[in-house]
Structure 1
Amino acid sequence: MNRSAFLKQSALIAAGIGITKSLQAANVTATNKLPKWKGFNLLDFFTPGAIGALTTKEEHFKWMQDWGFDFVRIPIAYPSYLEFDRSRNITPDEVYHISNAAVEKIDTLVAMAHKYNMHVSLNLHRAPGYCINAGFHEPYNLWKDDAAQQAFYFHWNMWAKRYKNVSPAKISFDLVNEPGMREDMNDQHSKVSAVPGEVYRKVAKAAAEAIRKENPQHLVIADGNNVGSTVITEITDLDIAQSCRGYNPGLISHYKAPWANNDPEHMPEPKWPGQVGNQYLSREMLEKFYEPWIALANSGVGVHCGECGCWNKTPHHVFLAWFTDLLDILSASKIGFAIWNFTGDFGVLDSGRTDVAYKDWYGHKLDERFLDVLKKA
């Protein structure tokens, strides 16, 4: 993007913030190009070694539908559908070795979701050369190496070809989870900063073209820069929707989470609202955080919150107070959401929280209070 175009798009976002405040003052409902999808992330193929049976069952989709949800995001680690020698690090050549049997398992999950009228968002949680999580040795860097970028485009073209005849109302493609410029691609706690805007634009544009080569109507979504937190002003002219996150502040959402904190056992006790460490946490800070995202939606770029929720170590009453405010802010601007996850430590089922009075739900432990918050959003 040239400097003139960049300044124009940045001005639109800045103007949008003012428009959003005016709309709020006038009690006018904001607009969003994307539907207000509500649902969950399904983690069947989330890890590089996820090559076994599906953990999401058909009854799970029935419950989602009965409870009023219409969206699932499927974060996928690309090695989960490859054939290669897993006793050693993957080579760049092996990144192209697609396993038809593994891909068909993903097809099965997508088909089940569609049976229950869920919109499916396919996401590369681990793309060739990048993942927000370590634990699998990447042979190159998505943001720096052409070989990684070419592999990235190949994978998206493969998925687009597979679903070329599926309506964009039923499927979308979320390019890469929570982009960041990590100093060491294979070190979980190495420093992460925003991907340079021109680099993100180059990669997103080429990936979208690889997808739309199969079907020009395919819906493409890009996660916010700097680990999903910031609007990507450099791509607002590319007909690519954007995905924010519902994890702010991390002191609440990732309290004592070892993958997100260097010293998880010595984090300050979370409160909402209240003073936590050197910050006062409140609804006002959330409103300020989401202003650019609401402005983006009002400017005509579709926005969805592809991941949100809270790990199970945060006290339940604090989690619900914070999350009610967060969803209220998103909902007012018709921005939908997907909880990470459906069953498990962020979910409405079997979260493992020790301070919840669960309801028995067909052998699962249901967090009814959390589910009520989601149904009302």
Structure 2
Amino acid sequence: MQRRTFIQHTGLLAAAVSASGPAVLASTPAPAAKNKLPKWKGFNLLDFFSPNPAQSRPATREEYFKWMRDWGFDFVRIPIAYPAYLKFDRSRNITPEEVYQIDEQAVERIDNLVAMAHKHGLHVSLNLHRAPGYCINAGFHEPYNLWRDQQAQDAFNFHWNMWAKRYKNTSSDKISFDLVNEPSMREDMNDQHSKSGPVPGEVYRKVAKAAAEAIRKENPKHLVIADGNSGGSTVIPEITDLNIGQSCRGYHPGIISHYKAPWANKDPENLPMPKWPGQVGDKYLSRAMLEEFYKPWIKLVNQGVGVHCGECGCWNKTPHDVFLAWFGDVLDILTSNGIGFALWEFSGSFGVLDSERTDVAYENWHGHKLDRKLLNLMAKY
């Protein structure tokens, strides 16, 4: 709170107490805490999302950052698969030794993307979407398990120390380090639909603490963020004392955000049609369920822990009007509690550009198809 605002509030409160006695003071609700993390808003950029560079998305162009800035956004999250910047024989499974074989040219490409974002005034969150020994997505055979094997944790710390060293002299206003995307315990790391659950709290604490120390060894002021447990959905109480921010998700409920997505549903073609609000299958979907879902995250903000929503959005099979009605409630709940957000993604099936939705009247934007209604909704917050 600025000094002038504080004085104004203090003066008004003193006048009220003077006029009405101590009962007024007793009945005045405590103000909500200010989020320790800025209310950044922006996008995820998937340039380095694939573990195989040959399968990478088209590169983000510098003009995209100018558009983001001009539209009022100030944040990009870069989810990285660590094998994307390694040198190894991709015709076979990676070995533990090869996890340390950094490809300097590949790392420089990531640096270049970061530099473009910084040039246009955007904060960058570097995230290991695939870390040594863990990824919420299948499609790459890990040589060990991040949550069970010290060897994987040592490699994890090595990678984060490397990134922290590269940005040793970069202000936390400009860069942050998001440790690992959407932690969970999956029974079969190679099966996208295998049963999963939360990482045991003491295990998550051990991994996050060691990685944060590896980062802050280079600069004690580096900003560290940890994704929520159970795939990003739940608060991690075990790390609230570690000066680590936490990142929630804006995908609840999945029947809205991931309607017909084959990687999220075993039988994507036989799902009830989403509505918002409304009865969908055996549940009534409404803003009230969202408010309940985000209560622990809002409580975390009020406990003095920084919170940001690192991913949110909706795949392109959900009817557009349903998506926007639901997403408006998500963004309103988050931002009214000082929590910023990043859409998954800028350009692509979840994005504001080129989403390939069949029920949108797109605007032509420099050769791209712009979802202006979605952009306007995001800009509103």
Equivalent-residue separation in structure 2 for 1:68 and 1:28 (angstroms): 27
1:1-377 map, 5 Å:
31-50=34-53, 55-377=59-381
User: Any conservation in 1 of the 2:183–2:198 contact (CA below 8 Å)?
Assistant: yes
Equivalent-residue separation in structure 1 for 2:89 and 2:353 (angstroms): 35
Equivalent-residue separation in structure 2 for 1:115 and 1:99 (angstroms): 25
User: Any conservation in 1 of the 2:33–2:304 contact (CA below 8 Å)?
Assistant: no
Deviation at 1:186, TM superposition (A): 1.6
User: Any conservation in 1 of the 2:235–2:297 contact (CA below 8 Å)?
Assistant: yes
User: Any conservation in 2 of the 1:272–1:318 contact (CA below 8 Å)?
Assistant: yes
SS in 1 for 2:248: strand
Equivalent-residue separation in structure 2 for 1:216 and 1:36 (angstroms): 22
SS in 1 for 2:273: coil
* Deviates most, 52-61 or 34-43: 52-61
User: Any conservation in 2 of the 1:245–1:308 contact (CA below 8 Å)?
Assistant: yes
Equivalent-residue separation in structure 1 for 2:186 and 2:127 (angstroms): 20
User: Any conservation in 2 of the 1:32–1:301 contact (CA below 8 Å)?
Assistant: yes
SS in 2 for 1:209: helix
Query: Match of 1:46, as an amino acid?
Result: F
Task: With the length of structure 2 as denominator, give the TM-score of the two structures.
Answer: 0.91
Equivalent-residue separation in structure 2 for 1:300 and 1:60 (angstroms): 34
Equivalent-residue separation in structure 1 for 2:264 and 2:281 (angstroms): 17
Equivalent-residue separation in structure 1 for 2:375 and 2:199 (angstroms): 35
Q: Deviations over 1:64-114 (max 9, x none)?
A: 000000000000000000000000110110000000000000000000000
Deviation at 1:26, TM superposition (A): 6.0
Equivalent-residue separation in structure 2 for 1:284 and 1:53 (angstroms): 37
Structure with larger RCO (C-alpha < 8 A, sep 6+): 1
Equivalent-residue separation in structure 1 for 2:85 and 2:58 (angstroms): 13
User: Any conservation in 1 of the 2:275–2:322 contact (CA below 8 Å)?
Assistant: yes
Equivalent-residue separation in structure 2 for 1:53 and 1:307 (angstroms): 18
* Deviates most, 46-55 or 191-200: 46-55
Task: With the length of structure 1 as denominator, give the TM-score of the two structures.
Answer: 0.92
> Taking every aligned residue pair, what percent have the same amino acid on both sides?
76
Equivalent-residue separation in structure 2 for 1:248 and 1:128 (angstroms): 28
Query: Match of 1:350, as an amino acid?
Result: D
* Deviates most, 43-52 or 257-266: 43-52
Aligned residues: 353
Equivalent-residue separation in structure 1 for 2:208 and 2:78 (angstroms): 19
Deviation at 1:189, TM superposition (A): 1.1
Deviation at 1:29, TM superposition (A): 5.6
Equivalent-residue separation in structure 2 for 1:340 and 1:49 (angstroms): 20
Deviation at 1:31, TM superposition (A): 2.0
* Deviates most, 177-186 or 99-108: 177-186
Deviation at 1:333, TM superposition (A): 0.6
The 1:26–1:353 alpha-carbon spacing in structure 2 relative to 1, beyond 3 Å, is: farther
Deviation at 1:50, TM superposition (A): 2.5
User: Any conservation in 1 of the 2:46–2:57 contact (CA below 8 Å)?
Assistant: no
Equivalent-residue separation in structure 2 for 1:118 and 1:82 (angstroms): 27
CA RMSD of aligned residues (A): 1.3
User: Any conservation in 2 of the 1:50–1:80 contact (CA below 8 Å)?
Assistant: yes
User: Any conservation in 1 of the 2:74–2:121 contact (CA below 8 Å)?
Assistant: yes
User: Any conservation in 1 of the 2:33–2:303 contact (CA below 8 Å)?
Assistant: no
User: Any conservation in 2 of the 1:358–1:368 contact (CA below 8 Å)?
Assistant: yes
User: Any conservation in 2 of the 1:54–1:105 contact (CA below 8 Å)?
Assistant: no
* Structure 2 runs not aligned, ≥5 long: 1-27
Equivalent-residue separation in structure 2 for 1:214 and 1:58 (angstroms): 29
User: Any conservation in 2 of the 1:349–1:366 contact (CA below 8 Å)?
Assistant: yes
Equivalent-residue separation in structure 2 for 1:298 and 1:178 (angstroms): 23
Q: Deviations over 1:41-81 (max 9, x none)?
A: 00000010126686100000000000000000000000000
